[in-house]
Amino acid sequence: MTNTNHFLEIDDLTATELQTVLDRAETYKDAQQNGDDHADLAGQTLGMIFQKPSTRTRVSFETGMTQLGGHAVFLGEDDIQLGRGEPLKDTSRTLSRYVDAVMARVFKHDNIEVLAEYASVPIVNGLTDDAHPCQTLADLQTIREQEGGFEDVSAAWIGDGNNVAQSFTVGAALTDIDLTVATPAGYGIDDAVVERARDLGGDPTITTDPIEAVTDADIIYTDVWISMGQEDERDVRMTDFEGFQVCSDLLEHAPEASVMHCLPAHRGEEITDDVIESDHSVVFDQAENRLHAQKALLSWLLEA
């Protein structure tokens, strides 16, 4: 990792460190299913800053800390001085005196970087507008479970080149997944993210053709077309994303593929109800793995 010991992007982990965290996630999942104690963070506290609402991020981190024997404190923006204008750097330095780690779900990626710059405890990116590395950890754990590893795995991202897509593109490079990204023109992932993936040894294929992307793929992944804060773009986006729905017709080009979605899903828009409810879907395994992957990350960051 970088010498800051933070987790702001998926490639803050090296490929070897990523495998270590995923191994630990598997161990924690087995422990939970077997009812084995794994209170590796007993007596430790996670502060959780939320500028954006959440279901999976909040519940998985809070439950994870409880299962690890620790405690999580929810800190909504309006519940702390951050909502009254306190500088992020002051919030960061103060929380560092109280808690053992901080997870923050914020809008601007610059904000998570400021928190990390001034913190003396690990900062975990629970989501920014640019990246969602905790989701990628769960995605990779799910793919490893489905495919028995990452060797010769092909994946297709279909839809918006958003924060989830960007983190997944870099995560695919770290694990040698053969990735094709299909987005409408003007909605692709950032060129800088593609270059990061290539610097890591990946070679993502970029296209505007969803059929080309999914043909014979092992994994098909999609997300909402309209993210939080983009509601005023709805009419334009619904037109621009026509043809990018993950539906039964698209799956005919990848009949053995597993379908992933980070949730929440807008059923009938980016994915059909019948697909998300089908045997192809591993969506809820993926959601569960947020819990196990994040427990592994926290215990690794805190050297448990």
Options 6, 132, 144, 237, the catalytic residue: 132
CB-based contacts of 192, cutoff 8 Å, min separation 6: none
Options 223, 237, 286, 294, the catalytic residue: 223
Q: Binding site annotation covers 247?
A: no
Options 6, 178, 245, 262, the catalytic residue: 262
Residue 99 amino acid letter: V
Q: Binding site annotation covers 227?
A: yes
Q: Assess whether 196 carries a catalytic annotation.
A: no
Closest-CA residue to 280 (of 259, 249, 253): 259
Spatial separation of the C-alpha atoms in residues 183 and 188, rounded to whole Å: 6
Q: Assess whether 135 carries a catalytic annotation.
A: yes
Q: Binding site annotation covers 63?
A: no
Contact 260, 171 (CB under 8 A): no
Q: Assess whether 262 carries a catalytic annotation.
A: yes
Q: Binding site annotation covers 223?
A: yes
As a whole number of Å, the CA-based R_g of the chain is: 19
Q: Assess whether 247 carries a catalytic annotation.
A: no
Spatial separation of the C-alpha atoms in residues 137 and 18, rounded to whole Å: 8
Angle, in degrees to the nearest 10, between helices 109-118 and 88-96: 40
Options 51, 67, 135, 286, the catalytic residue: 135
Q: Binding site annotation covers 125?
A: no
Q: Binding site annotation covers 97?
A: no
Q: Assess whether 132 carries a catalytic annotation.
A: yes
Q: Assess whether 253 carries a catalytic annotation.
A: no
If you search the block for the tokens 């996670």, which residue do you land on? 46
Options 100, 290, 292, 294, the catalytic residue: 290
Binding site for carbamoyl phosphate: residue ranges?
Answer: 54-57, 81, 105, 132-135, 262-263, 290
Residues catalogued as catalytic: 105, 132, 135, 223, 262, 290
Q: Which residues are annotated as a binding site for L-ornithine?
A: 163, 223, 227-228
Annotated binding site, which residues? 54-57, 81, 105, 132-135, 163, 223, 227-228, 262-263, 290
